[in-house]
Amino acid sequence: MNLESLRREFLKEIFSKIVVCNTDGVPNFADKHSASSIVISKKLLEILGLRVSRKRSSSQTVGRIFEEAVRKFLEKALEELDHLRSWPYRVHLHRKIWDFSQYRHLRMLNEAFEKYPELKTSLGRDYFIAPDIVVSLEPLEDELLNRKTKGFVSGTTARLSPIRRENSSFEILHAVISCKWTIRSDRAQNARAEALTLVQKRKGRSPHLVVVLAEPLPSRIASLAFGTGEIDMTYHVCLYELKEAVKASGIEDQVEILEMLISGNRLRDISDLPLDLQV
């Protein structure tokens, strides 16, 4: 299945399971207190032309459905690109970061907290993170590493690299994806704080740190995308259609902000994500 088909399938799923309109035709991803958000959201729904749900879900249910849809889209897209790599990616929901090579030292700290609960008060638990979605790589067997040159790695070399199963059984954390259906109040700051913690607490290379969202209002997206470097990139579930909807709305400040986000390389479409994860 090509990327366009996967993207369309993904959008159909989230709109049919999550999006509900009120009696005025305003979808539930709009901010009912913002006239700009309402106008853009209604126009976006019109442009997409997708069937919406008839059943309103709780915010927790919406979050779970959105995360699973993103995970499924990413898993399928990455499978189509398997030929570019020597070993496949694994895509998971809500894995603890200490399950991975760069953060395995935190496992011992967690065990200490369980044994001595009083430590939580002085040290906190901000770095015990279970991200919405993670992409990981399994360490490689020597057989694969030595496929081109026999004995390229052996018992005398490369004895510390976690990419070699001989050295470590821990998966390598390749990417962390935070899923935000909409952006309200402090949610943007939560994503930034989590990304910063992941950078600060790692031992080894930093994973890709990205956000996938469905927020329709460019100024709200900007509150997250115009960050200070904690997040690699922000991805919108339907950026092309959003750009068309914002332009059709005629709300000049929102048109300008969205153009700045795109031209300034702060915002991309979700279809860019599986390709960006190849490096």
CATH code where residue 65 lies? 3.40.50.10010
Q: Is residue 104 part of a domain?
A: no
pLDDT in tens, 7-29: 999 999 999 999 999 888 889 89
What span, in angstroms and rounded, lies between the C-alpha atoms of 231 and 166?
A: 32
Residue 268 is assigned to a structural domain of this protein: yes
Q: Which residues pair with 92 in a beta bridge?
A: 134
Closest CA to 37 of 279, 187, 219: 219
What six digits make up the tokens of 122? 């002085």
Query: How big is the chain by its Cα radius of gyration, in Å?
Result: 21
Strand ranges, E, within 166-260: 172-180, 208-213, 233-236
* pLDDT, tens only, 28-58: 899 989 999 999 999 999 999 988 877 777 7
Task: State pLDDT tens for residues 226-238.
Answer: 877 889 999 999 9
**Segments forming the whole domain that contains residue 43:** 3-96+129-139+172-276
269 within some domain: yes
In a domain, 159, yes or no: no
Domain presence at residue 44: yes
Q: CA 196, CA 175: separation in Å to the nearest integer?
A: 14
Indicate whether this model's pTM tops 0.85: yes
Instruction: Tell me whether residue 156 is in a domain.
Output: no
Q: Which two structure tokens, joined as six digits, stand for 271?
A: 């279809």
Give the total number of structural domains in the chain: 1
Q: Contact at 8 Å (CB) between 188 and 266?
A: no
Task: Flag whether 155 is in a domain.
Answer: no
Report the DSSP beta bridge partners of residue 93: 133
Q: Answer whether residue 116 shows pLDDT above 80.
A: no
Which tokens hold the place of 21? 């309109």
Task: Report which residue type is found at 58.
Answer: S
Domain contains 145: no
Cα–Cα distance for residue pair 199/44, rounded to 1 Å = 35
